[in-house]
Chain A
Amino acid sequence: MSPPPATSVSARFTRTPLVVRKERQQAAVRLVLLAMAVLMVLPLLAIISHLLVQAWPALSWEFLVDVPRRGMTEGGIWPALVGTVYLVVISLAVSAPIGVLAAIYLNEYARDNWFTRAINLAVISLAGVPSIVHALFGLGAFVYAARFGYSILAASLTLAIMTLPVIIASTREALAAVPAAFREACWNVGATRWQTIRSIVLPNSISGILTGVILQVSRAAGETAPILFTGAVFFKAVQRGDLFPYRLTDQCMALSMHLYTVSTQVPNVREAIPWATAVVLLGAVLAVNAAAIALRVWLRNRKRW
């Protein structure tokens, strides 16, 4: 029994109708999926370019540093810009330390028992709480029960609790990426648990932790619902270019709130102003995110273990 000529076998093997059909199917599926992927990417580009085109007439340095004028129908966004910075800084000053310490507890101290599982469950639930429910909580707890009133403090604390679970999760991931051998080496020379964390674990994960915190900067800056009833107001008189116009117990304006206000609540706004506000907010958020992503990529490239 002599084998059939090799060429005919390979020809028969590769070009049967079944194979042809499989190849066609494969190509078609690839095309469909590529189209889907492109359709997911297109919105981002379309949105950004459309926003930019519409906002162009109003975008200028003046728009950033000027205060709203004529019942918010003209002028700039300075008070909102500063208000957002206040809210972000204070909320993260609260949530970042608590979140990082909580992640350290979960990753470095906690044993695998029911209590740890309960904490994990709480973190997941906290991450899933709708933003408007955070607003209700902030109103009930900080504004009324703690008697902070409608204030930057109440709004920031509400935002802090909203950002906390995500900071815990991202920090935990960064801590878990530090190899266990590093810790063991440190324990073996006699260091205590905290000394190990401070001198080995944290320095090796600080960039990852920072990335997670930075991502929450943009989230805190963009959220509207939690500050709607806890401390953000439609309008607040502020000096043009004033760097520290608010006190902790004041209400403040915020960019996200300002966009909601000028696009739905104020009649006869100059056409380009809501668009320009949206561009500033979106630009700030995307810039912060891009920075975090760049940090992550850079970190991944120089990682040695």
Chain B
Amino acid sequence: MAPTSSTGAAVPPRPTRSRRAVWGERGIELLIYASGVSAIVFILAILFFIFREAAPVLFSDRFSLTQFLFSTEWYPTSVSNVRYGTLALSAGTLAVTVLAMVLAVPFGVGGAVFLSQFCGPRLRETLKIIIELLAAIPSVVWGFIGLTVMSRLIVTYTGTPVGVNVLNGGIILALMSVPIIVSIGEDALKAVPDSYVEAALALGVTRWQLVFRVLLPAARHGLLAAVLLGVGRAIGETMAVLMATGHAVQIPHGILDSVRTLTANIAAELGEAPAGSEHYQVLFLTGVLLFAITMLVNLAADLIIRGARARK
């Protein structure tokens, strides 16, 4: 039973719990504490283990970090002259991500505005459920759609010989990141204080003026965070871009060029790189690079959200 304390002059014997109950509770609280710390343990473990595999090559004489970051020559299996330059891969990631955001941001923000201001509660609930389902489609299914449906559409309408390219990957990634932008963006719009909205309505503004002059400026930090989270997802996405962007390691000159991204490169080559080889270590180093990029993007988004919240 629960312990009770009393402060009378004649203190009755304090009800006690069995030793087992007390120790059981202590054990469970220890478990809870350990689980609470687990997130820190895991994030450090991820950093430690991918860095551990990558470290030998990073500190070897034959490897140059400048070449790794700024050379476009990626010939990991060349017999005579092995070169590990990831600039073309970074450019691929950048091209696909930028195109995806150009497509997804207007739709995402527009969708968030529509959901929060221009539709009734019924339609809103329905649309939110559909967007949630859209977000649940596995990336390999998106990749498959890019590989089959989208590439055929692109070949038909643009006349390009190969349908798996930046455009294809960009569209697929846009479809994948729109749900995140919509849901976080809607939260940001909802967080605008009611007094702002009421003040504007009292001046006789229309809905559109309300959105354009009051809500969007007031929610700009939250919307920026939503876009950053979409960027984070687009950079980290693997299977969809692996299947939809083609496999050409090159700096793209147009949206109809095939590229390969940092993530797709790891997925495509790790299976063939013998464990412990230089190639294998360089792929892990690419992983460290990816980890750093996505971490920065996500932390920036978090800081912006937190900053926006603190200002209120």
Asked if A105 and B33 make an inter-chain contact with CB atoms under 8 angstroms apart, the answer reads: yes
Asked if B302 and A124 make an inter-chain contact with CB atoms under 8 angstroms apart, the answer reads: yes
> Is residue A89 within 8 Å, beta carbon to beta carbon, of the partner chain?
no
> Is residue A59 within 8 Å, beta carbon to beta carbon, of the partner chain?
no
Complexed CA–CA distance, A47 and B133 (Å): 12
Asked if B37 and A119 make an inter-chain contact with CB atoms under 8 angstroms apart, the answer reads: yes
**B98-129 toward A: CB 8 Å interface, digit per residue (1/0)?**
00000000110011011100110000000101
Asked if B35 and A130 make an inter-chain contact with CB atoms under 8 angstroms apart, the answer reads: no
Asked if A168 and B39 make an inter-chain contact with CB atoms under 8 angstroms apart, the answer reads: yes
Closest 6 CB pairs of A and B: A222-B138, A130-B236, A105-B36, A128-B298, A101-B35, A190-B2
A28 to chain B: closest residue by CB = B208
- Stretch binding the partner chain, chosen from B42-50, B77-85, B190-198: B42-50
Asked if A122 and B43 make an inter-chain contact with CB atoms under 8 angstroms apart, the answer reads: yes
> Is residue B287 within 8 Å, beta carbon to beta carbon, of the partner chain?
yes
**B67-99 toward A: CB 8 Å interface, digit per residue (1/0)?**
000000000000000000000000000000000
Please name 24 pairs of A and B residues whose Cβ atoms are closer than 8 Å in the assembled complex, sorted by A. A34-B119, A36-B111, A41-B130, A47-B137, A101-B31, A102-B38, A104-B36, A128-B232, A130-B263, A132-B238, A132-B290, A134-B46, A137-B45, A139-B53, A140-B53, A161-B42, A192-B3, A194-B29, A218-B136, A228-B271, A260-B144, A285-B136, A286-B133, A293-B129
Complexed CA–CA distance, A168 and B32 (Å): 12
Which residues on A sit within 8 Å (CB–CB) of B298? 124-125, 127-128
B114 to chain A: closest residue by CB = A33
Shortest Cβ distance from residue B35 to the other chain A in the assembled complex, whole angstroms: 4
Which residues on A sit within 8 Å (CB–CB) of B110? 32-33, 36-37
Asked if B52 and A140 make an inter-chain contact with CB atoms under 8 angstroms apart, the answer reads: yes
Which residues on A sit within 8 Å (CB–CB) of B36? 101-102, 104-106, 109-110, 119
Asked if B144 and A259 make an inter-chain contact with CB atoms under 8 angstroms apart, the answer reads: yes
Complexed CA–CA distance, A289 and B104 (Å): 23
- Stretch binding the partner chain, chosen from B57-65, B145-153, B252-260: B145-153
Residue of B36, B46, B294 most packed against chain A (CB within 10 A): B36
Select B147's contact among A189, A229, A263, A290, beta carbons within 8 Å: A263
Q: How many residues of B contact A (CB 8 A)?
A: 84
Asked if B133 and A289 make an inter-chain contact with CB atoms under 8 angstroms apart, the answer reads: yes
Identify which of residues 201-229 in chain A touch chain B, using a CB-to-CB cut-off of 8 Å.
215, 218-219, 221-225, 228-229
> Is residue B266 within 8 Å, beta carbon to beta carbon, of the partner chain?
yes
Select B134's contact among A40, A139, A141, beta carbons within 8 Å: A40
Which residues on B sit within 8 Å (CB–CB) of A119? 36-37, 39-40
Complexed CA–CA distance, A101 and B302 (Å): 23
Which residues on B sit within 8 Å (CB–CB) of A256? 138, 140, 239
- Stretch binding the partner chain, chosen from A2-10, A18-26, A62-70, A245-253: A18-26
Identify which of residues 110-124 in chain A touch chain B, using a CB-to-CB cut-off of 8 Å.
110, 118-119, 121-124
Complexed CA–CA distance, A99 and B107 (Å): 33
Knowing A105-B36, A263-B243, the reply to whether A136 touches B287 (Cβ < 8 A) is: yes
Asked if B290 and A274 make an inter-chain contact with CB atoms under 8 angstroms apart, the answer reads: no
Complexed CA–CA distance, A193 and B106 (Å): 48
Identify which of residues 249-294 in chain B touch chain A, using a CB-to-CB cut-off of 8 Å.
263, 266-267, 270-271, 275, 283-284, 287, 290-291, 294
Which residues on B sit within 8 Å (CB–CB) of A189? 2
Asked if A40 and B42 make an inter-chain contact with CB atoms under 8 angstroms apart, the answer reads: no
Complexed CA–CA distance, A115 and B28 (Å): 20
Which residues on B sit within 8 Å (CB–CB) of A129? 43, 46, 236, 291, 294-295
> Is residue B222 within 8 Å, beta carbon to beta carbon, of the partner chain?
no
Which residues on A sit within 8 Å (CB–CB) of B209? 22
Asked if A131 and B133 make an inter-chain contact with CB atoms under 8 angstroms apart, the answer reads: no
> Is residue B297 within 8 Å, beta carbon to beta carbon, of the partner chain?
yes
> Is residue A15 within 8 Å, beta carbon to beta carbon, of the partner chain?
no
Residue of B31, B39, B267 most packed against chain A (CB within 10 A): B39
Asked if A224 and B239 make an inter-chain contact with CB atoms under 8 angstroms apart, the answer reads: yes
Which residues on B sit within 8 Å (CB–CB) of A51? 145
**A158-188 toward B: CB 8 Å interface, digit per residue (1/0)?**
0001001100100000000000000000000
Residue of B31, B40, B52, B232 most packed against chain A (CB within 10 A): B40
B209 to chain A: closest residue by CB = A22
Asked if A37 and B111 make an inter-chain contact with CB atoms under 8 angstroms apart, the answer reads: yes
**A90-110 toward B: CB 8 Å interface, digit per residue (1/0)?**
000000011101101110011
> Is residue A1 within 8 Å, beta carbon to beta carbon, of the partner chain?
no
Which residues on B sit within 8 Å (CB–CB) of A131? 139, 236-239
Asked if A137 and B50 make an inter-chain contact with CB atoms under 8 angstroms apart, the answer reads: yes
Residue of A22, A127, A225 most packed against chain B (CB within 10 A): A225
Shortest Cβ distance from residue B20 to the other chain A in the assembled complex, whole angstroms: 14
B34 to chain A: closest residue by CB = A101
> Is residue A191 within 8 Å, beta carbon to beta carbon, of the partner chain?
yes
Asked if A281 and B42 make an inter-chain contact with CB atoms under 8 angstroms apart, the answer reads: no
